[in-house]
Structure 1
Amino acid sequence: MKLFSKDETFFDHFRGLAVHISEAATLLRTLFENPANAAQISVQIKKVETDGDAIVHLINQRIDTSFVTPLDREDIHMLAKRLDNVIDLINGASRRVVMFRVTAPRDGGVQMADVLVRAGKEILQAVGNISKRQRMMEHGRAVKMLEEEGDVLYAQAVGALFEKDEPAIEVLKWKEIFDALEEAIDECEDVSNTLESIALKNS
Protein backbone atom coordinates (compact mmCIF):
# COMPACT_ATOMS: atom_id res chain seq x y z
CA MET A 1 0.00 0.00 0.00
CA LYS A 2 1.30 3.47 -0.85
CA LEU A 3 1.81 5.85 2.05
CA PHE A 4 1.41 8.98 -0.04
CA SER A 5 -1.37 9.54 -2.57
CA LYS A 6 -1.36 13.35 -2.91
CA ASP A 7 0.62 15.62 -5.27
CA GLU A 8 3.52 13.58 -6.66
CA THR A 9 5.38 16.63 -8.02
CA PHE A 10 7.41 17.00 -4.82
CA PHE A 11 8.70 13.43 -5.21
CA ASP A 12 9.70 14.12 -8.82
CA HIS A 13 11.69 17.12 -7.57
CA PHE A 14 13.35 15.03 -4.82
CA ARG A 15 14.34 12.45 -7.41
CA GLY A 16 15.69 15.26 -9.59
CA LEU A 17 17.90 16.49 -6.74
CA ALA A 18 19.09 12.93 -6.05
CA VAL A 19 20.02 12.51 -9.74
CA HIS A 20 22.01 15.76 -9.47
CA ILE A 21 23.87 14.39 -6.42
CA SER A 22 24.88 11.32 -8.45
CA GLU A 23 25.99 13.46 -11.40
CA ALA A 24 28.02 15.83 -9.21
CA ALA A 25 29.63 12.95 -7.26
CA THR A 26 30.61 11.11 -10.47
CA LEU A 27 32.17 14.31 -11.84
CA LEU A 28 34.00 14.83 -8.55
CA ARG A 29 35.50 11.33 -8.69
CA THR A 30 36.72 12.06 -12.25
CA LEU A 31 38.17 15.34 -10.99
CA PHE A 32 40.17 13.56 -8.26
CA GLU A 33 41.38 10.97 -10.78
CA ASN A 34 42.52 13.77 -13.14
CA PRO A 35 43.13 16.90 -11.03
CA ALA A 36 45.03 18.48 -13.96
CA ASN A 37 41.55 18.83 -15.59
CA ALA A 38 39.97 20.20 -12.40
CA ALA A 39 39.20 23.64 -13.83
CA GLN A 40 37.01 22.22 -16.65
CA ILE A 41 35.35 19.57 -14.49
CA SER A 42 34.57 22.05 -11.69
CA VAL A 43 32.64 24.18 -14.21
CA GLN A 44 30.44 21.13 -14.95
CA ILE A 45 29.93 20.51 -11.21
CA LYS A 46 28.98 24.17 -10.72
CA LYS A 47 26.33 23.81 -13.44
CA VAL A 48 24.86 20.77 -11.65
CA GLU A 49 24.82 22.80 -8.41
CA THR A 50 23.03 25.71 -10.13
CA ASP A 51 20.46 23.32 -11.61
CA GLY A 52 19.93 21.85 -8.13
CA ASP A 53 19.31 25.32 -6.69
CA ALA A 54 16.63 25.85 -9.36
CA ILE A 55 14.84 22.64 -8.25
CA VAL A 56 14.92 23.78 -4.60
CA HIS A 57 13.41 27.10 -5.71
CA LEU A 58 10.58 25.19 -7.45
CA ILE A 59 9.99 23.08 -4.32
CA ASN A 60 9.79 26.17 -2.12
CA GLN A 61 7.38 27.84 -4.55
CA ARG A 62 5.20 24.74 -4.56
CA ILE A 63 5.18 24.56 -0.74
CA ASP A 64 3.83 28.13 -0.73
CA THR A 65 1.16 27.51 -3.37
CA SER A 66 -0.04 23.96 -2.59
CA PHE A 67 -3.16 23.78 -0.46
CA VAL A 68 -2.46 20.15 0.47
CA THR A 69 1.07 18.70 0.55
CA PRO A 70 1.87 14.96 0.66
CA LEU A 71 4.24 15.45 3.64
CA ASP A 72 4.55 18.06 6.37
CA ARG A 73 5.78 21.30 4.82
CA GLU A 74 8.78 21.47 7.16
CA ASP A 75 9.76 17.89 6.16
CA ILE A 76 9.59 18.77 2.46
CA HIS A 77 11.70 21.86 3.09
CA MET A 78 14.23 19.93 5.23
CA LEU A 79 14.65 17.08 2.73
CA ALA A 80 15.11 19.51 -0.18
CA LYS A 81 17.67 21.49 1.87
CA ARG A 82 19.62 18.36 2.85
CA LEU A 83 19.73 17.03 -0.74
CA ASP A 84 20.84 20.44 -1.99
CA ASN A 85 23.51 20.67 0.74
CA VAL A 86 25.20 17.50 -0.58
CA ILE A 87 25.49 19.07 -4.05
CA ASP A 88 26.77 22.35 -2.53
CA LEU A 89 29.43 20.49 -0.52
CA ILE A 90 30.56 18.49 -3.57
CA ASN A 91 30.89 21.79 -5.42
CA GLY A 92 32.88 23.17 -2.46
CA ALA A 93 35.32 20.22 -2.59
CA SER A 94 35.87 20.71 -6.34
CA ARG A 95 36.43 24.44 -5.86
CA ARG A 96 39.15 23.75 -3.31
CA VAL A 97 41.05 21.51 -5.73
CA VAL A 98 41.00 24.32 -8.32
CA MET A 99 41.77 27.07 -5.80
CA PHE A 100 44.75 25.18 -4.33
CA ARG A 101 46.15 24.45 -7.82
CA VAL A 102 46.27 20.69 -7.18
CA THR A 103 47.72 18.89 -10.23
CA ALA A 104 48.43 15.34 -9.02
CA PRO A 105 46.07 12.73 -7.52
CA ARG A 106 46.57 11.64 -3.94
CA ASP A 107 45.55 8.54 -1.98
CA GLY A 108 42.27 9.14 -0.24
CA GLY A 109 40.82 11.70 -2.65
CA VAL A 110 39.58 9.27 -5.29
CA GLN A 111 38.47 6.74 -2.64
CA MET A 112 36.44 9.29 -0.68
CA ALA A 113 34.88 10.63 -3.88
CA ASP A 114 33.97 7.03 -4.76
CA VAL A 115 32.16 6.69 -1.41
CA LEU A 116 30.16 9.79 -2.42
CA VAL A 117 29.28 8.18 -5.78
CA ARG A 118 28.00 5.05 -4.01
CA ALA A 119 26.14 7.08 -1.37
CA GLY A 120 24.54 9.12 -4.18
CA LYS A 121 23.23 5.89 -5.78
CA GLU A 122 21.74 4.75 -2.45
CA ILE A 123 20.10 8.16 -1.91
CA LEU A 124 18.58 8.00 -5.40
CA GLN A 125 17.18 4.53 -4.61
CA ALA A 126 15.90 5.69 -1.19
CA VAL A 127 14.16 8.75 -2.65
CA GLY A 128 12.71 6.58 -5.42
CA ASN A 129 11.27 4.27 -2.75
CA ILE A 130 10.08 7.01 -0.40
CA SER A 131 6.59 5.47 -0.33
CA LYS A 132 7.96 1.97 0.38
CA ARG A 133 9.27 2.34 3.90
CA GLN A 134 11.12 -0.97 4.20
CA ARG A 135 13.12 -0.55 1.00
CA MET A 136 13.86 3.08 1.79
CA MET A 137 15.22 2.13 5.23
CA GLU A 138 17.50 -0.51 3.63
CA HIS A 139 19.08 2.14 1.42
CA GLY A 140 19.36 4.39 4.47
CA ARG A 141 21.32 1.71 6.32
CA ALA A 142 23.62 1.37 3.30
CA VAL A 143 24.29 5.14 3.42
CA LYS A 144 25.18 4.89 7.13
CA MET A 145 27.69 2.12 6.37
CA LEU A 146 29.21 4.25 3.59
CA GLU A 147 29.51 7.16 6.03
CA GLU A 148 31.50 4.87 8.36
CA GLU A 149 33.69 3.80 5.43
CA GLY A 150 34.24 7.49 4.65
CA ASP A 151 35.33 8.13 8.26
CA VAL A 152 37.96 5.35 8.02
CA LEU A 153 39.27 6.68 4.69
CA TYR A 154 39.39 10.23 6.08
CA ALA A 155 41.43 9.12 9.12
CA GLN A 156 43.85 7.18 6.88
CA ALA A 157 44.21 10.00 4.36
CA VAL A 158 44.81 12.71 6.97
CA GLY A 159 47.14 10.45 8.97
CA ALA A 160 49.21 9.83 5.82
CA LEU A 161 49.76 13.59 5.45
CA PHE A 162 51.78 13.55 8.68
CA GLU A 163 53.73 10.33 8.03
CA LYS A 164 56.39 11.83 5.78
CA ASP A 165 58.16 15.16 5.87
CA GLU A 166 55.58 16.83 3.61
CA PRO A 167 55.80 20.57 2.85
CA ALA A 168 53.43 22.35 5.26
CA ILE A 169 51.53 23.94 2.39
CA GLU A 170 50.68 20.48 0.94
CA VAL A 171 49.46 19.29 4.33
CA LEU A 172 47.25 22.37 4.71
CA LYS A 173 45.81 22.07 1.19
CA TRP A 174 44.98 18.39 1.38
CA LYS A 175 43.70 18.52 4.95
CA GLU A 176 41.14 21.11 3.82
CA ILE A 177 40.21 19.05 0.75
CA PHE A 178 39.75 15.89 2.84
CA ASP A 179 37.65 17.89 5.34
CA ALA A 180 35.39 19.02 2.47
CA LEU A 181 34.97 15.44 1.21
CA GLU A 182 34.17 14.15 4.69
CA GLU A 183 31.59 16.90 5.20
CA ALA A 184 29.85 15.94 1.93
CA ILE A 185 29.77 12.26 2.98
CA ASP A 186 28.39 13.22 6.43
CA GLU A 187 25.64 15.24 4.74
CA CYS A 188 24.59 12.10 2.83
CA GLU A 189 23.92 10.50 6.21
CA ASP A 190 21.89 13.57 7.21
CA VAL A 191 19.75 13.02 4.07
CA SER A 192 19.29 9.41 5.13
CA ASN A 193 18.29 10.43 8.69
CA THR A 194 15.75 12.92 7.31
CA LEU A 195 14.24 10.25 5.05
CA GLU A 196 14.04 7.84 7.99
CA SER A 197 12.29 10.43 10.13
CA ILE A 198 9.78 11.11 7.31
CA ALA A 199 9.13 7.37 6.91
CA LEU A 200 8.49 6.91 10.65
CA LYS A 201 6.14 9.91 10.75
CA ASN A 202 4.12 8.66 7.79
CA SER A 203 4.02 4.94 8.54
Structure 2
Amino acid sequence: RLDDILDGIMGLTYLFENLVITKIRPETNLFAEMIVQATQGVETALKEFPKFKNSKTLRQMINDVNTIESEADLLYSKMKKALFTDEKEVLEIIKWKDIYDRFESIINDTESAVDIIDGMVIKNT
Protein backbone atom coordinates (compact mmCIF):
# COMPACT_ATOMS: atom_id res chain seq x y z
CA ARG A 1 0.00 0.00 0.00
CA LEU A 2 2.87 2.36 0.74
CA ASP A 3 4.11 1.90 -2.80
CA ASP A 4 0.60 2.66 -4.09
CA ILE A 5 0.57 5.92 -2.09
CA LEU A 6 3.97 6.98 -3.42
CA ASP A 7 3.13 5.96 -6.98
CA GLY A 8 -0.11 7.93 -6.74
CA ILE A 9 1.67 11.06 -5.57
CA MET A 10 4.30 10.73 -8.29
CA GLY A 11 1.58 10.12 -10.87
CA LEU A 12 -0.25 13.20 -9.69
CA THR A 13 2.80 15.37 -10.30
CA TYR A 14 3.09 13.92 -13.80
CA LEU A 15 -0.58 14.67 -14.41
CA PHE A 16 -0.13 18.32 -13.49
CA GLU A 17 2.81 18.53 -15.87
CA ASN A 18 1.46 16.44 -18.74
CA LEU A 19 -2.01 17.98 -18.68
CA VAL A 20 -0.38 21.43 -18.68
CA ILE A 21 -2.19 22.64 -15.58
CA THR A 22 -1.40 26.32 -15.14
CA LYS A 23 -4.09 27.32 -12.66
CA ILE A 24 -5.31 25.43 -9.58
CA ARG A 25 -9.05 25.02 -9.22
CA PRO A 26 -10.86 25.94 -6.00
CA GLU A 27 -10.34 23.60 -3.05
CA THR A 28 -7.59 21.60 -4.77
CA ASN A 29 -5.14 22.82 -2.14
CA LEU A 30 -7.49 21.56 0.58
CA PHE A 31 -7.53 18.10 -1.00
CA ALA A 32 -3.72 18.15 -1.24
CA GLU A 33 -3.50 19.12 2.44
CA MET A 34 -5.74 16.19 3.34
CA ILE A 35 -3.35 13.88 1.52
CA VAL A 36 -0.42 15.37 3.45
CA GLN A 37 -2.24 14.84 6.76
CA ALA A 38 -3.25 11.28 5.85
CA THR A 39 0.26 10.30 4.74
CA GLN A 40 1.68 11.78 7.95
CA GLY A 41 -0.84 9.64 9.85
CA VAL A 42 0.31 6.55 7.96
CA GLU A 43 3.94 7.39 8.76
CA THR A 44 3.17 7.79 12.46
CA ALA A 45 1.15 4.57 12.51
CA LEU A 46 4.06 2.70 10.93
CA LYS A 47 6.47 4.08 13.51
CA GLU A 48 4.12 3.17 16.34
CA PHE A 49 3.26 -0.33 15.08
CA PRO A 50 6.30 -2.13 16.57
CA LYS A 51 5.17 -1.01 20.02
CA PHE A 52 1.43 -1.40 19.36
CA LYS A 53 0.72 -3.04 22.72
CA ASN A 54 1.83 0.09 24.60
CA SER A 55 1.31 2.79 21.98
CA LYS A 56 -0.80 5.74 23.02
CA THR A 57 -1.04 7.12 19.48
CA LEU A 58 -1.41 4.18 17.09
CA ARG A 59 -5.18 3.80 17.49
CA GLN A 60 -5.61 7.59 17.19
CA MET A 61 -3.57 7.72 13.97
CA ILE A 62 -5.65 4.93 12.43
CA ASN A 63 -8.83 6.75 13.38
CA ASP A 64 -7.48 10.09 12.15
CA VAL A 65 -6.59 8.71 8.73
CA ASN A 66 -10.02 7.08 8.44
CA THR A 67 -11.66 10.40 9.37
CA ILE A 68 -9.57 12.32 6.85
CA GLU A 69 -10.50 9.80 4.17
CA SER A 70 -14.19 10.25 4.92
CA GLU A 71 -13.88 14.03 4.78
CA ALA A 72 -11.91 13.74 1.54
CA ASP A 73 -14.69 11.60 0.03
CA LEU A 74 -17.15 14.42 0.70
CA LEU A 75 -14.77 16.99 -0.76
CA TYR A 76 -14.14 14.79 -3.82
CA SER A 77 -17.88 14.52 -4.47
CA LYS A 78 -18.33 18.27 -4.03
CA MET A 79 -15.42 19.13 -6.32
CA LYS A 80 -16.48 16.68 -9.01
CA LYS A 81 -20.05 17.94 -8.95
CA ALA A 82 -18.83 21.53 -9.24
CA LEU A 83 -16.57 20.54 -12.12
CA PHE A 84 -19.42 19.02 -14.11
CA THR A 85 -21.86 21.77 -13.12
CA ASP A 86 -19.74 24.91 -13.49
CA GLU A 87 -17.02 24.16 -16.04
CA LYS A 88 -17.95 24.77 -19.68
CA GLU A 89 -14.69 23.71 -21.34
CA VAL A 90 -14.78 19.98 -22.09
CA LEU A 91 -10.99 19.70 -22.13
CA GLU A 92 -10.79 21.20 -18.63
CA ILE A 93 -13.42 18.74 -17.40
CA ILE A 94 -11.41 15.82 -18.76
CA LYS A 95 -8.15 17.09 -17.23
CA TRP A 96 -9.55 17.84 -13.80
CA LYS A 97 -11.61 14.67 -13.62
CA ASP A 98 -8.37 12.71 -13.99
CA ILE A 99 -6.69 14.81 -11.32
CA TYR A 100 -9.58 14.52 -8.87
CA ASP A 101 -9.73 10.77 -9.43
CA ARG A 102 -6.01 10.51 -8.66
CA PHE A 103 -6.44 12.53 -5.46
CA GLU A 104 -9.24 10.17 -4.43
CA SER A 105 -7.15 7.11 -5.21
CA ILE A 106 -4.24 8.36 -3.09
CA ILE A 107 -6.45 9.13 -0.10
CA ASN A 108 -8.08 5.70 -0.40
CA ASP A 109 -4.64 4.09 -0.41
CA THR A 110 -3.75 5.85 2.85
CA GLU A 111 -6.89 4.43 4.45
CA SER A 112 -6.06 0.96 3.12
CA ALA A 113 -2.57 1.21 4.62
CA VAL A 114 -3.80 2.01 8.12
CA ASP A 115 -6.55 -0.60 7.82
CA ILE A 116 -3.85 -3.21 7.16
CA ILE A 117 -1.95 -2.01 10.24
CA ASP A 118 -5.18 -2.15 12.24
CA GLY A 119 -5.78 -5.72 11.06
CA MET A 120 -2.31 -6.77 12.12
CA VAL A 121 -2.84 -5.22 15.55
CA ILE A 122 -6.11 -7.10 15.97
CA LYS A 123 -4.55 -10.34 14.78
CA ASN A 124 -1.66 -10.02 17.21
CA THR A 125 -3.59 -9.09 20.35
After TM superposition, give the deviation of residue 109 of structure 1 in Å: 1.8
Counterpart-to-counterpart distance in 2, 1:90 and 1:136: 24
Query: SS of 2:36's equivalent?
Result: helix
Q: Which runs of 4+ in 1 moved over 3 A?
A: none
The answer for the alignment partner of 2:3 in structure 1 is 84
Unaligned 5+ runs, structure 2: none
Counterpart-to-counterpart distance in 1, 2:47 and 2:74: 29
The answer for the alignment partner of 2:76 in structure 1 is 154
Structure 2: which amino acid aligns with 1:143?
V
Structure 2: which amino acid aligns with 1:85?
D
Q: Show the 5 A alignment for 1:34-183.
A: 82-130=1-49, 131-133=51-53, 135-183=57-105
- Asked if structure 2 preserves the Cα contact closer than 8 Å seen for 1:123 and 1:143, the reply is yes
- Asked if structure 2 preserves the Cα contact closer than 8 Å seen for 1:116 and 1:184, the reply is yes
Does structure 1 residue 200 correspond to structure 2 residue 122? yes
Counterpart-to-counterpart distance in 2, 1:108 and 1:142: 21
Counterpart-to-counterpart distance in 2, 1:151 and 1:93: 17
After TM superposition, give the deviation of residue 202 of structure 1 in Å: 1.6
Distance 1:96 1:165, change over 3 A: closer
Deviations 1:62-92 (A, max 9, x none): xxxxxxxxxxxxxxxxxxxx11110101111
- Asked if structure 2 preserves the Cα contact closer than 8 Å seen for 1:108 and 1:154, the reply is no
- Asked if structure 2 preserves the Cα contact closer than 8 Å seen for 1:108 and 1:156, the reply is no
The two structures have a TM-score, normalised by structure 1, of 0.58
Which structure would you say has the larger RCO, counting Cα contacts within 8 Å and 6 or more residues apart? 2
- Asked if structure 1 preserves the Cα contact closer than 8 Å seen for 2:41 and 2:64, the reply is yes
Task: Indicate the percent of aligned positions where both proteins have the same amino acid.
Answer: 26
Structure 2: which amino acid aligns with 1:98?
E
Distance 1:188 1:98, change over 3 A: same
Query: SS of 1:129's equivalent?
Result: helix
Structure 2: which amino acid aligns with 1:132?
F
Counterpart-to-counterpart distance in 2, 1:200 and 1:98: 42
Counterpart-to-counterpart distance in 1, 2:106 and 2:29: 14
After TM superposition, give the deviation of residue 198 of structure 1 in Å: 1.0
